[in-house]
A and B are shown apart, each in its own frame.
Chain A
Amino acid sequence: MLFTEEDVTHRLAGIHVFPINALPAAGLVPEGIDTLCHEEAVKFEAMRRYYDMVDADLLFCFSDIALQAEAMGAPVRYASDEMPAVCAPAGIVRVPRACKAPRMALNGQVVRRMRTAYPRRRIAALVYGPFTVVGQLTGEQNALRRVREAPAALSALLVEATAMAEDYARLLLDAGADLLWISDPLAALLPPPDFDGFAGRYLRQLFGLMSDGQTILHICGETSDLLAPMVATGAGGISFDQCMALPTVEAQVPRQVAMIGNLDPVEVVTMAPLHTVCAATRELAATMGIRSNFILSTGCALPPGTPIENVRAFIHSGREAVADIRRHAAYLAPLVDAVTRGDATATVQTVGRALAGGRDSLRLLDGGLVRAMRQAGARYEAKQCHLPELLMSVDAFYEGFARLKTRLPGSADAGPRVLLGTVQGDLHAIGKDLVRILLEANGVGVIDLGVDVSKDRFVAAMARYRPAIIGLSAFLTAARRQLPALIGSLRSSGNENLKVVVGGAAVNAVIATEVGADGYARDAVAAVKLIRGLITDLRAGEGASR
């Protein structure tokens, strides 16, 4: 048994890893999506084949955004290789019984058969939120415009869409679904003050169907500003889009509410090679898995063409990684909290206690100190703190690291290394120093050549240290003028995969391109993000070539 539930604080215990919806199932039957949407046997067969291969903790019946609007009168276009889509606004809006709407009734039947086929697995009743359905019925721009221009008419439509959603949810729950999942993507575009009036109150009404808190709300896009009213809907879990940095919002999600997310469904699960899927999954699990209310999932539905082996790799590596990190969460979570608060004393004490308890030093470094620095960096990027607060965390990191480093195994730094220096004639050190310190705090090996570094010294250091990445700092225009020749020399020194990044007051993104650099960072945090991304790419390249 991989998991114990004793530390779980949310109401969705037993759910650890799953991808949203079941659209890749479409590729497992020879019939097209249009047929799958209308033939119960075909749809169930696709579900069965998919979930026989994909060991998810939460199952979905293949669902599409057009279904509820279609039942209410919107015309829908079908194709064998595309998801159903509303093709025109609804003429007369009606609210039929869900059991009389053919595709709703069909989904009810499929859920009933899934219940029988998978008696021990949890099944979600996937329903779209009323605001999104009204957007499908009237056109999304019209729905948003009515928030200001015709709020009463919009509310009347929302009442009808809620009635339809409620009836459809009951149908799926009566058929055997355990949990109510509501996706309301259009609600992400509501101004925060309007969210509750045009989305939240209706979602609250729908979630009221489930007295046991078995409810999840998913809203696509950047939802930081909507988080409080989303939590106020009473959902037992909030599912986050892949664009969200979860560490920046975790403090706003109560511990009894599950944080669900948020691996990129397209860039990673669908398009990336298998080893990248596993690596990205493990990193997300390691970052968020210490939170007792975290559930690993995708940031949105996986598209129909997603390779099944990638979905399986996500589930398999994610399940292992979450289970692994959970075993250490009890001492890693307080360590992460101490570092992100910038409390050096608490950091040292927590490290000391963990070492005295026989905890693994590498785990404390990677899962505790480095993880905390990523969170602190993400908070800074999200403008949740200023640089001094971030630097407090860095100082706490180094205090903890000093306590830890004698216990670390030698030559732990086996990854790609970064060579840093301020170019000749320029003595500005502090920006470059911050980049070095933050990179090291993020587990990246750095060779710092200092300031006023000549081309010859850069080239000699290249030959000696064989770095994967070189960071050049230039604060003076005179220093900037040297960059094209310097970068040219570095590139001609033998490493064809060398990446060069630049920063400092004398450069910007345009100049970086002009001088032949691979990237530009406006500050130390951006530099760390840029360089970590380049390292990930380099590792992916190495993995692919093996």
Chain B
Amino acid sequence: MTFTTENGGGLRRYLKLGTHPILLTRAEEIRVEAEGLAGLLSWQSEVTRAFFETRFAPCSGNSHALQALLADCPRVLLLAVTLGQPLSDRVRQYMAANRCLEGYLMDRMGSFWAETAMRSLDRQASGSHRAAGGRTTRRFSPGYHDFSLEAQKPFVELIGGRWPGLHITSGGLLLPEKTITAVVGVWPGAGSC
């Protein structure tokens, strides 16, 4: 995939690369390097509503937006993706060396890929529920609206040692930086296991 192919078009538009030939060439070089550094991992777990409310208290109960979204759903899907630490380290190296085009583009590529991976994970998990006659809500992430960043803590505890290096800062920020977590409400269908 390159920025000139159809599949690369989405990332090209996201990065606002336009048609500048030198820029496209350099962005392509950065993309190849970034792909080599991105170690995509994903994790999902479906839990009961009661388990979710216990583990994510008090953040869950305090978030009106989340409670409104989940409504009476009996189960909750927990989703997480990460690209790992090396890509973020390389971004920092570029910025420290004043190579900000490389740093900026690699950072944005990381965001795009993490978001794309989360979307794909959500689509897959929610899709299987829908195929079984169930329903799912849209996904909702800690830090949005009134759903506190503190909710990252139970995610880290649940994912545990599966992802080496995953931790949370005092400010509630997940590291590695290109890590996304989300919650999806589930009403299982008759065919759901």
Contact = CB atoms under 8 A, between A and B. Distances in A.
A434 B173 contact: no
A452 B169 contact: yes
B91 A430 contact: yes
18 contacts: A386-B16, A386-B17, A387-B104, A388-B16, A389-B20, A394-B98, A395-B99, A395-B100, A424-B170, A425-B173, A430-B103, A433-B95, A433-B100, A434-B100, A476-B149, A478-B171, A478-B172, A479-B171
A391 B104 contact: yes
B18 interface: yes
Interface in B15-31: 15-18, 20, 22-23, 26-27
Chain A contact patch, size range:
20 to 34
B177 interface: yes
Contacts of A385: 18
Interface in A358-400: 385-389, 391-392, 394-395, 398
Contact of B22 (A342, A387, A429, A476): A342
A481 to B, nearest CB: 10
B110 to A, nearest CB: 10
B37 interface: no
Given A342-B22, A430-B95, A388 B171 contact: no
Contacts of A394: 98, 100-101
Given A342-B23, A429-B92, A386 B177 contact: no
Interface in A459-490: 476-479
Interface string B68-103: 000000000000000000000001100100111111
A433 B96 CA distance: 8
Q: Which of B91, B102, B169 is the most central at the interface, judged by chain A CB atoms within 10 Å of its CB?
A: B169
A334 B100 CA distance: 23
Interface string B1-37: 0000000000000011110101100110000000000
A437 interface: yes
Interface residues of B, number: 30
A13 interface: no
B175 interface: yes
A433 B171 CA distance: 20
B104 A425 contact: no
Contacts of B99: 395, 398
Interface of B: 15-18, 20, 22-23, 26-27, 91-92, 95, 98-105, 107, 143, 149, 169-173, 175, 177
Question: Most chain-B CB neighbours within 10 Å: which of A392, A424, A440?
Answer: A392
Contact of A388 (B104, B175, B177): B104
Contact of B170 (A392, A425, A430, A437): A425
B172 A388 contact: no
A427 B152 CA distance: 15
A343 interface: yes
B22 A343 contact: yes
B171 A392 contact: no
A426 interface: yes
A385 B22 CA distance: 14
A425 B100 contact: no
Contacts of A426: 171, 173
Nearest to B104: A391
A424 to B, nearest CB: 7
Given A395-B98, A427-B173, 5 more contacts: A342-B20, A391-B101, A394-B100, A434-B104, A476-B172
B169 A425 contact: yes
B169 A387 contact: no
A479 B27 CA distance: 33
Nearest to A394: B100
Given A386-B16, A388-B17, A478-B171, A437 B98 contact: yes
Nearest to A393: B101
Contacts of A452: 169, 171
A386 B18 contact: yes
Given A387-B16, A452-B169, A429 B101 contact: no
A478 B175 CA distance: 17
A388 B95 CA distance: 14
A395 B105 CA distance: 13
Contacts of B95: 429-430, 433, 437
In order of increasing CB-CB distance, the 3 nearest A-B pairs are: A425-B171, A386-B16, A391-B101
